Amino acid sequence: MRRSRILSTGRYLPPKVVTNHDLARIINTNDQWIQERSGIVERRFVEGEVGASDLGFEAAKIAIDRAGIKPNDIDMIIFATLSPDHTFPGPGCLLQKMLDMPGKAVVDIRNQCTGFMYGMSIADQFIKTGMFDKILVVGAEVHSTGLEFADSGRDVTVLFGDGGGAMVIGVSDNPDRGILSTHLHADGRGFKDLWIEAPNSRCMPRITHQMIDEGRQWPKMNGRNVFKGAVTHLPEVINEALTANDVKLEDIAYLIPHQANMRINQFVAHKLGYPQEKVWHNIQRYGNTTAATLPLCLDEMLEQGVVKDNDLLMFAAFGAGFTWGSALVRW
């Protein structure tokens, strides 16, 4: 069977920087609390009418260009986001229109912080089977228009930022290099530990003035359960990838985890016995960018030249649903 590999990456962050101090001027929080609890120093917010598809478009253009191809060389777009421009259709079709590649397949993924991981895995399957040769996987989020800028939402609001990332995934010319495995999981028992209740198709109409007055349109999180779920399942799914590939933890050049909280990632490395200096972090500058996080991380690593040929990279993510997964890549 063919092996897939990451041909290129791209990223786009909106220029507006919002520091913890900026947030502390609007809501009852402070820089020390945010940094101690999450590691976040600043994040980016969009300005004006900018949607997830716009951030994804900017990142996608860079990834496509770096792959040395044209949009029409792509067979399928996979777009992961929890902040789609509209309820339907998903932003994948909007992006396809922006890239002017009508007729090509589009998949929209709703798997939150694990969305990009699921996207990578789906791309891997389509390429392995020979159905498609080049797939654009995009993760992009505009969180800032959906956060509650009031004290009641401060636990969630301080954690999230906007951004977009992309990868072009294609066929590897070396069967030993590329995406070696992906492992995906979910547990719907955590559904309400991190969610937005409204709008909601169980209600007629889906959103009411009363629901808005009660703040049901804002994200709600049971932070402790999320933390517990992440530090339990991330080591599990990393070990699953190691076992499946008969690889040792010490052979992993970098652990590239989803950036929900620096403390989660430090805890995971500690639990595994993995060196903290080999865990990639960018949460300080961007906060939690959800589906955009993994491509943002890899794009920065490639730009900084830290990834060498044949390095083993362990990607891992955990998020709302709950959903989680890992991908082992030999670069």
Q: Which of 40, 147, 159, 314 contacts ligand COA by CB under 6 A?
A: 159
- 113 is an active site residue: yes
Q: What is the Cβ-side half-sphere exposure of residue 147, based on CA atoms within 13 angstroms?
A: 23
- Whole-angstrom Cα distance, residue 91 to residue 281? 27
- Whole-angstrom Cα distance, residue 266 to residue 157? 22
Q: Which two tokens stand for residue 102?
A: 């009508």
Residue 201 in 3-state DSSP?
Answer: coil
- Whole-angstrom Cα distance, residue 211 to residue 287? 28
Which helix H or strand E contains 294, and what residues bound it? helix 293-303
Closer to ligand COA by CB, 22 or 133: give it: 22
- 20 is an active site residue: no
At 254, phi and psi to the nearest 5?
Answer: -145, 140
In the complex, the smallest distance separating the C-beta of residue 111 from ligand COA, rounded to whole angstroms, is 11
Contact call for residue 228 and ligand COA (CB under 6 A) = no
Q: Choose the stretch contacting ligand COA; rule: CB under 6 A; options: 100-108, 116-124, 152-160, 233-241.
A: 152-160
In the complex, the smallest distance separating the C-beta of residue 260 from ligand COA, rounded to whole angstroms, is 3
Contact call for residue 166 and ligand COA (CB under 6 A) = no
| C-alpha triplet 264, 116, 45: angle, nearest 5° | 75
Which candidate in 113, 183, 265, 282 is catalytic?
A: 113
- Whole-angstrom Cα distance, residue 104 to residue 73? 10
| Among 272, 239, 216, 245, residue whose Cα is nearest residue 329 | 245
Contact call for residue 288 and ligand COA (CB under 6 A) = yes
In the complex, the smallest distance separating the C-beta of residue 40 from ligand COA, rounded to whole angstroms, is 10
Contact call for residue 158 and ligand COA (CB under 6 A) = yes
Residues 194-213 that bind ligand COA (CB under 6 A): 194
Q: Which of 227, 254, 274, 280 contacts ligand COA by CB under 6 A?
A: 227
Q: Is the dihedral of CA 212, 217, 219, 225 positive or negative?
A: positive
Contact call for residue 153 and ligand COA (CB under 6 A) = no
Q: Which of 31, 33, 185, 199 contacts ligand COA by CB under 6 A?
A: 33
Q: Which two tokens stand for residue 145?
A: 């228009």
Q: Which of 4, 8, 9, 29 contacts ligand COA by CB under 6 A?
A: 29
Catalytic residue set = 113, 258, 288
Site residues (CB under 6 A) for ligand COA? 29, 33, 37-38, 113, 154-155, 158-159, 194, 221, 223-224, 226-227, 260-261, 264, 288, 319
